[in-house]
Amino acid sequence: MKFASFALLSALVLPAAAFADSYEMDTSHTHAGFKISHLGFSETYGNFEDVTGTLELDADKPEEAKLSVTIQTASLDSGFDARDEHLKGKDFLNVAEFPTMTFTSTKVVRTGEATADVTGDLTLHGVTKPLTLQVTLNKLGENPMNKKTIAGFNATGTLKRSDFGISTYLPAIGDEVTLLLSSEFVRK
């Protein structure tokens, strides 16, 4: 009886968002990458190896979702060690002073059956600016291997690195950085 009363009271008092499912990022199935123009001749691609995140999601109310992602900037890998050390240094990411990059969602707007624009605060290089990601829900369901509920997403977005105080070699090295993200989140 006490449990039933508590459940009824909770349903009446707690906001709807309290009934969202909590998810943890599956880091083994996450890719956080980027591309940027190199002198107009090619695009340099890279990724970050150390990415963590959480998601609050009510499948019936995706516009109320809450996403939080943290990237360790020193985990950058562009496939060339000398370039990585330069990118991690003071000319670019300055990972000693700014060891993390974070994204915290502030608004979700559905744009289709399985798509949304997710706007949030991106903190990079000590500067916080709004960023909108175009997100596609790939699949929400049971993983047949481990029987856990998984939410899988792809996302893209663009930012100007100069907006975050990273302007070395502009305009030779592109100002616009394209973000390429893919991740699975496991329901807790």
* Cβ 34 vs Cβ 11: under 8 Å: no
Whether the pLDDT of residue 20 is over 70: the answer is yes
Tell me, letter by letter, the H, E, C secondary structure of 22-91: EEEEEEEEEEEEEEEEECCCEEEEEEECCEEEEEEECCCCHHHCEEEEEEEHHHEECCCHHHHHHHHCCC
* Cβ 120 vs Cβ 134: under 8 Å: no
Please report the pLDDT score of residue 79 as a whole number: 97
Q: Name the pLDDT band for 18 (thresholds 50, 70, 90).
A: low
The pair of structure tokens assigned to 132 is 């909108």
Mean pLDDT (whole number) for 46-54: 98
The pair of structure tokens assigned to 63 is 């516009």
Whether the pLDDT of residue 116 is over 90: the answer is yes
Q: How far apart are CA 164 and CA 5, in angstroms?
A: 51
% of the chain exceeding 70 in pLDDT: 90
% of the chain exceeding 90 in pLDDT: 88
Residue 11, Ramachandran bin (φ over 0: left; ψ between -120 and 50: alpha; else beta):
alpha
Residue with tokens 């109320």: 64
Q: What is the mean pLDDT of the chain?
A: 91
Q: How far apart are CA 183 and CA 51, in angstroms?
A: 10
Whether the pLDDT of residue 133 is over 60: the answer is yes
N- to C-terminal Cα distance for the chain? 27
CATH numbers and ranges of domains, the chain: 18-187 (2.40.128.110)
Whether the pLDDT of residue 1 is over 70: the answer is no
Q: Name the pLDDT band for 126 (thresholds 50, 70, 90).
A: very high
Nearest to 137 by CA among 187, 185, 68, 71: 185
Whether the pLDDT of residue 10 is over 60: the answer is no
Mean pLDDT (whole number) for 15-32: 84
Q: Please tell me which residue, 21 or 11, carries the higher pLDDT value.
A: 21
Whether the pLDDT of residue 182 is over 60: the answer is yes
Least confident range from 7-11, 52-56, 139-143, 178-182: namely: 7-11
Please report the pLDDT score of residue 19 as a whole number: 78
